[in-house]
Amino acid sequence: MTAIAFPKPDPAILARRDEIIAGLAALVPPECLVTSEDERRAFETDALTAYRRLPLAVVLPRTTEETSKVMAFLHGAGVKVVARGAGTSLAGGAIPQEDAVVVGLSKMSKILGVDFADRSMRVQAGVTNLAISNAVAADGFFYAPDPSSQLACTIGGNIGMNSGGAHCLKYGVTTNNILGARMVLADGAIVEMGGDWLDSGGLDFLGLVIGSEGQLGIVTEATVRLLRQAEGARPVLFGFPTSEAAGACVADIIGNGIIPVAIEFMDKLAIEICEAFAHAGYPLDAGALLIVEVEGSETEMDAQLQRIVEIAQRHGVSTVRESKSAMETAAIWKGRKSAFGATGRVADYICMDGTVPTSQLCHVLEKTDEIVKHYGLRVANVFHAGDGNMHPLVMYNVNDPAEQEKAEAAGMDILKLCVDVGGCLTGEHGVGIEKRDLMRHQFSEADLAQQMRVRAAFDEGWLLNPAKVFPLDGRTIAATSAR
């Protein structure tokens, strides 16, 4: 029996499937509609692959206007909708239901315009994260958020989950780098938020939508913030005898007011897994590794690294190796950004996403190891240490139901620990279905009721990405609280 529950599909909607498909077929061309069982299988899950649900149908609109027509039709028919970018969600955010239609962004993949004067770019929501930076790299610009899945993940999915990445320590996550968005509401209405400038007037609807996990509407276009590339960047490998020493070093760096571009952490198991895959030259004799990247002029980088090395020496650093070439830099980051895929070659895993104060890193790393060992499993820790965004990979055999239950239980205990030390359930992956039933561990009933009333103001019928984020009895709680 699985730990995560799904609501039963509405038999009335299932009985009307042919009628619903016919209605969609009148709105989009055949190549934009997926109806056969075999083709729908590609949309039944996301990166949280232990759970699968076959959607009623899949529609792939090409424009905001097509999306509006599709949404208006589905709203009128009372059909649930699950928005989907590239399906890289690690929290089950894009897993559909049997009585829901998936609205995919993959055909909305155009760059609509670049404005270097205002340092912005307008894109459709299906454009991949990395494609944005690649499009302006020759002009000396880049888009800052860089999730490990940036080669595949879409800007629409990034907005839904408020994604981050290795460089969010200095540049912030998605919400800090989106200037405007165009969104289709549940009933098909099209709204514009923000603009081509950093701070637009009026209520901050853009801040409300980013991180809302597709529950308020479907973002079809976005205006992203472009930044000038730094004069130079240099990653450095720091090897430590223990994870505790590396964690203490991170807390000390941040405590001294030093903000590098990135501080990434790997424990011994993660080092071994990533090195076997990427051959990046990671120190295999280390108990833990930090990748610290600084940027600026040569003088600036030297000065900042000198202070960081001095701090690392106070914590018993055993290896300090600076990148000496662009090829070596690429190899260092290839190892880190391939961590999830490399671990998947070794074992199935679930990836947690709790965030903790950096002062609690050592304690949380120690307790995480104890929790996972208690369930008889293994854990590889690889995460964004600079902002305390933990990513323990709890390894198990997905074909063994007992191991899956143990892995999920261990993951829940780790997330509760993160909240208990002053952190939160998610830093960048979102809540989805994975953390839905832990929301009460972080929020009071009054907090949840207020959040759900805001959600219902956009989607009174709860048709958008249902059964995500909030406990399944959430609508009852919100309605009761509103009386």
Given pLDDT bands bounded at 50, 70 and 90, which one contains residue 1? very low
CATH topology match: 111-228 vs 233-339 = no
CB 213 within 8 A of CB 430: yes
* Mean pLDDT value across residues 300-313: 96
User: Burial level of 300, CB count in 10 A (0-12/13-18/19+)?
Assistant: middle
d(CA 348, CA 395): 6
pLDDT band at residue 50 using 50, 70 and 90 as cut-offs: confident
pLDDT of residue 209: 97
The encoded tokens of residue 385 equal 């240490």
Q: Does CATH number 3.30.70.2190 belong to domain 233-339? A: yes
Collapsing DSSP to helix, strand or coil, 108 comes out as coil
Query: What's the start-to-end Cα distance of the chain, in Å?
Result: 37
Lowest mean pLDDT across 50-59, 327-336, 409-418 = 327-336
DSSP string, 245-313: HHHHHHHHHHHTT---SEEEEEEHHHHHHHHHHH-----TT-SEEEEEEEESSHHHHHHHHHHHHHHHH
For 220-232, write each residue's pLDDT tens digit: 999 999 999 999 9
Q: Is the pLDDT of residue 197 over 90?
A: no
Q: Which residue has the higher pLDDT, 40 or 474?
A: 40
256-to-44, 238, 260 alpha-carbon distances in Å: 47, 18, 12
Task: Please tell us whether the domain made up of 111-228 is placed in CATH 3.30.1280.10.
Answer: no
pLDDT (0 to 100) of residue 43 = 97
pLDDT score recorded for residue 117: 93
Task: Spell out the alpha helix ranges (H) of 137-264.
Answer: 155-161, 168-171, 205-209, 243-255
pLDDT in tens, 113-122: 999 999 999 9
Percent of the chain with pLDDT over 70: 97
Between CA 483 and CA 479 the distance in angstroms is: 7
Mean of the per-residue pLDDT values of the chain: 94
The alpha carbon of 166 is separated from its chain's Cα centroid by a whole number of angstroms, namely 12
Are 225 and 143 in contact by the 8 Å Cβ rule? The answer is yes
Give the pLDDT score at 3.
66
Q: Evaluate if residue 92 carries a pLDDT over 80.
A: yes
Q: What is the pLDDT of residue 483?
A: 47
Mean pLDDT of 150-171: 95
Q: Would the pLDDT of 27 be above 70?
A: yes
Do residues 102 and 42 make contact, with C-beta atoms less than 8 angstroms apart? no
Architecture of the 347-420 domain: 2-Layer Sandwich (3.30)
How far does Cα 380 stand from its chain's mean position? Answer: 19
By C-alpha distance, which of 78, 94, 84 is closest to 60?
Answer: 84
Domain segments of the chain: what residues? 11-104, 111-228, 233-339, 347-420, 437-482
User: Residue 203 pLDDT more than 90?
Assistant: no
Please tell me the predicted confidence (pLDDT) of residue 478.
57
Question: What digits encode the pLDDT tens for the residues 390-436?
Answer: 999 999 998 999 999 999 999 999 999 999 999 999 999 999 999 99
Flag the least confident range among 85-99, 125-139, 193-207, 351-365: 193-207
Regarding the domain delimited by 11-104, which CATH topology (the fold level of the hierarchy) does it fall under? Answer: 3.30.43
